[in-house]
Structure 1
Amino acid sequence: MSFEEKLAQFAELAVKVGANVQKGQTLLINTSTDTVDFTRMVVKKAYEAGAARVTVNFSDEAIDRALFDYAPEEEFEKYPRWIAEQRDELIERKGALLWIDAADPDLLTGVPVNKLSTHQKAAGKALENYRDAVMNDKIAWSIIAIPSKAWAKKVFPHLPEEEQVPALWEAIFKTVRIGEGDAVLNWEEHLIKLHARADLLNAKRYTKLHYTAPGTDLWIELPEKHIWQTGSSRTPEKTEFVANMPTEEVYTLPSKYGVNGYVSNTKPLVYQGNIIDKFTLAFEDGVIVKAEAEIGQDLLQEMISSDEGSKYLGEVALVPHESPISASNILYYNTLFDENASNHLAVGAAYPTCYEGGSELSEAELDAHGINSSITHEDFMIGSGEMDIDGILADGTVEPIFRKGNWAF
């Protein structure tokens, strides 16, 4: 299969499987100037699928960096209303949203933490309606990624410059099951397998999970009405979409106040254009009581102080160490990929869709059921080939879920 054929399949996947654009629907694409040619292909595929209108918001990394370098301090307390209003209109029109990411993992390195924090909080407040729509699957949304020079250099620094972007393209194609046969059919088969795994976990009704690995000894309680989900979701109109491409996970939510012990990361976390690494979080009754990082300590503290909910966990995700992305031994410095190579957790907001009837509950009702709310939702990777996970049933029976990083059943 030629590069051009793979590229065409990727654009088709983004439209037909990721965002799953429907006839007469509006599609909003957020991306950067590094993706112009590919984005044009996606736009064409979307119109061929029946989209009524496709709007593209292009950003530029040099311009984005200039904001943090030169804008006055008080500007970071504001957030453009038109961005929130554009997404609100998309939600009202039952449109679809696609992110095409090509971000430089080091884009905002050196920016003062207070600027990043103020910007994050202002955006979180302004985009509350949008965040609610995404967390509750009220619209179809999807994130994919394609190479940029800066990102490819970060991933493949050992390669000659002219080989870095092609190498990242080929790696990404493999993660999204492009290269052998029909990619759309490949994804249909993959999602069936993920759904089967989620069904097995839902039938178990575990009350707790116990994680053990070097640097980790963590107990996580699960709410009685928790639901294990996959990367495939449905809108209220029953349109199926895949929020993350690639996806290898099955995930649920923890009981907000039922997390105890400590956990260490196994892959770097890229947060607001910076890297946080070699960190450990300690929990007591759900709250992070200690957070220590060798790299990015100030950013780690900022991340877990964004609001009250950022001090708690919101997601528990299981990914076998033998997953295709992990087997590639490539560190992507991009959570979209790295989280699908490793068991991971998320600080901040839980997905209400992981709780029976959760999408119908208010924030106060969610909290009463032990479901966390926050402007933050940041995944961090904890899995390895040395991790064991046990599931505890209601009668106290302990069953192996993971052994040496992989499924035990």
Structure 2
Amino acid sequence: MLKNFETMLNEYARLCVKVGINLQQGQPLVISAPIEGVDFVRLVAKNAYELGASEVHVNWNDEVLTKLKYENAPMEVFENFPKWFADGQVDFAKKNAGFLSISAQDPELLKSIDPKKIATYNKSASLALKEFRNYTMNDINAWCVVSIPTKSWAKRVFPDVSEDEAVEKLWAAIFNATRMDLKDPIKAWENHIETLIKKSDFLNKNDFKSLHYTSSNGTDLVVELPNDHIWVSGGSTNAKDTYFVANMPTEEVFTMPLKTGVNGHVYSTKPLNYGGKLIDDFKLTFKDGKVVDFDAKVGKEVLTDLLSIDDGAKYLGEVALVPFASPISESNIVFMNTLFDENASCHFAFGKAYPTNIKGGEKMSDEELEANGVNNSLTHVDFMIGSPDMSIVGTRKDGEKIQIFKNGNWAF
């Protein structure tokens, strides 16, 4: 057992609601969590009520039941996402709820499942939850994604030790990544966010027209940025002017690309866990923003389905900069969980862009966003492309070139 584990666990639960959601008096909290995490969820609820939550509602999920459903239910079940659930999420959003998601899925849970069922479900869920996701992707409501170990996930990350030891090692890695092993985690997070804000301020001040990515693995990609794009760091401000941190951990500073302005080749550097299946070692070729060719050594059929959700899935919606010398990267652990792996590596995202990454975007209609070069899609899926020797050179509107990343890390 980790030293002072129970104390750290309670502090982690408090960090999730106090810093992650930044829960306010009288605000509801909605938690999505695996049933294996019931003890942690109870701690989160306890801390939420102590901070003044009006209500804590939990959406439970269970890997065993999920797999049984995929193995036995007919295709039409996956074609029809439950409207009552989508309506419930929107109802809580309208009540200014904060949304805490606990991401802890076995990365190979659905390895043996027909990919068409997974693709069908992902599309129907995206359609049904479109209204709800407008509340989170426009930062109208505070939201946060965190993780806890589950036995199945821990054994995927640490396959050579016992189940109990794997869980303990994953807890230690999560506590390290979220700064819970420091003397004053909340103060450490305040300092960390301040550092990220300085990076985003520099990028916004220079107002880059494009970024050129190169790496010895073959990546050679130019990403144009739209006029009035905004770089955002660790946290955001919701419609009630409350500052929250959407991902814990977070090491990224991110913006959006110009939808039609991505050209060249890029190679993935970490596996992508998508809907319980892994996609790994893949290459993408872009022309005028669109994926025109791709290949994957692992999970090509899954990648094909991902890119086929709608036309916008073939374009990028996010450009995120993460130094290779981040605590997560230096742990040398491949988590097979996007929340962690994306914060160990520069990454992009297929699909929908965050409207908050362009000036006034949260008030624009879909047509206005499209006119400003902002990608729209039913999906938003991050994938990792950072490497130890990655170079990123930014070109300003006046033509001046500035080294942003050198040897995988910040150059300024």
TM-score of the pair, normalised by structure 1: 0.99
Q: Tell me which residue corresponds to 1:99.
A: 101
Deviations 1:40-67 (A, max 9, x none): 0000000000001101111111001111
Partner of 1:252: 255
Q: CA deviation at 1:161?
A: 2.9
Mapping for residues 157-306 of structure 1, pairs under 5 Å? 157-213=159-215, 214-306=217-309
SS of the aligned residue for 1:119 comes to helix
| Contact 1:34–1:102, Cα closer than 8 Å, also in 2 | no
2-side partners of 1:102 and 1:348: how far apart?
A: 23
- For 2:69 and 2:161, the matched residues in 1 are separated by 32
Give the aligned residue type for 1:167.
K
* Cα offsets for 1:172-195 (capped at 9, x unmatched): 001000122121111111111111
Number of the residue aligned with 1:386: 389
Whole-angstrom distance in 1 between the partners of 2:396 and 2:242:
34
1:231 Cα offset (Å): 2.4
One-letter amino acid of the counterpart of residue 87, structure 2: E
Whether the aligned pair in 2 keeps the contact of 1:35 and 1:102 (CA below 8 Å) is: no
Shift of 1:91: 1.2
SS at match of 1:42: helix
**Cα deviation code 1:249-270 (max 9, x no counterpart):** 0000000000000100000000
Q: Does 1:358 align with 2:361?
A: yes
The residue aligned with 1:311 is: 314
Contact 1:149 1:165 in 2 (8 A): yes
1:3 maps to which residue?
5
Q: Could you tell me whether the CA contact under 8 Å between 2:349 and 2:380 is conserved in 1?
A: yes
Counterpart of 2:146 (choices 135, 144, 147) is 144
Q: Tell me if the contact between 1:140 and 1:235 (Cα under 8 Å) persists in the aligned partners.
A: yes
Could you tell me which residue of structure 2 aligns to residue 331 of structure 1? 334
1:209 Cα deviation (Å)? 0.2
Ranges in structure 1 where 5+ consecutive residues have no aligned partner: none
The residue type paired with residue 146 of structure 2 is I
For 2:308 and 2:329, the matched residues in 1 are separated by: 31
User: Which residue does the alignment assign to 2:115?
Assistant: 113
Q: CA deviation at 1:400?
A: 0.8
Give 1:397's aligned residue.
400
Instruction: State the distance in 1 between where 2:128 and 2:160 align.
Output: 42
2-structure distance, mates of 1:76, 1:287: 28
Structure 2 CA distance for aligned equivalents of residues 137 and 268 of structure 1: 28
TM-score with structure 2 setting the length: 0.98
The DSSP-based 3-state class of the residue aligned with 2:91 is: helix
CA distance in structure 2 between the aligned counterparts of 1:166 and 1:220, rounded to whole angstroms: 41
Q: Which residue of 2 aligns with 1:74?
A: 76
CA positional deviation for 1:159: 2.1
Structure 2: which amino acid aligns with 1:67? K
C-alpha distance in 2 between matches for 1:372 and 1:221: 13
C-alpha separation in 2, matches of 1:396 and 1:207:
9
Q: Secondary structure at the residue paired with 2:208? A: coil
Q: Which whole-Å CA distance do the structure 1 matches of 2:70 and 2:163 have between them?
A: 28
Q: Does 1:30 align with 2:32?
A: yes
Q: How far, CA to CA, are the matches of 1:52 and 1:87 in structure 2?
A: 16
Q: What code does the residue aligned with 1:138 have?
A: I
Alignment of 1:9-20 (within 5 A): 9-20=11-22
Q: Does 1:89 align with 2:127?
A: no
Letter in 1 for 2:86: A
Say if 1:217 and 1:261, in contact at 8 Å, map to a contact too.
Answer: yes
Cα deviation, 1:110-167, whole Å, max 9, x if unaligned, reads: 2112111111111111111111111100101101000001111011112233311000
> Structure 1 counterpart of 2:240, which letter?
E
Name the structure 2 match of 1:47: 49
Distance 2:203 2:96 in 1: 32
1:117 touches 1:302 (CA, 8 Å); kept in 2? Answer: yes
Determine helix, strand or coil for the equivalent of 1:230: coil
Quick one: which amino acid aligns to residue 339 of structure 2?
A: L
Unaligned runs of 5+ in 2: none
How far residue 397 of structure 1 moved from its aligned partner, in angstroms, is 1.8
Deviation for aligned residue 1:378:
0.5
CA drift at 1:394: 1.1
1:364 Cα shift? 1.3
> Is contact 1:339–1:381 with CA below 8 Å preserved after alignment?
yes
Contact kept, 8 Å, 2:315 with 2:351, in 1: the verdict is yes
Task: Determine if contact 2:197/2:234 at 8 Å carries over to the other structure.
Answer: no
User: For each residue in 1:238-297, what CA deviation from the matched residue of structure 2 results, as whole angstroms up to 9, or x when unmatched?
Assistant: 111111100000000000000000100000000010000010000000010001001000
Q: Could you list the runs of 4 or more consecutive aligned residues of structure 1 that deviate by over 6 angstroms after TM superposition?
A: none
SS of residue matched to 1:83: helix
Matched residues in 1 for 2:75 and 2:230: separation?
A: 43
Cross-structure match for 1:376: 379
Q: Distance in 2 between matches of 1:110 and 1:375?
A: 25
Q: How does 1:116-127 map to 2 (within 5 A)?
A: 116-127=118-129
Structure 1 residue 235 displacement after superposition: 0.7
Shift of 1:75: 1.2
1:229 aligned counterpart, secondary structure:
coil
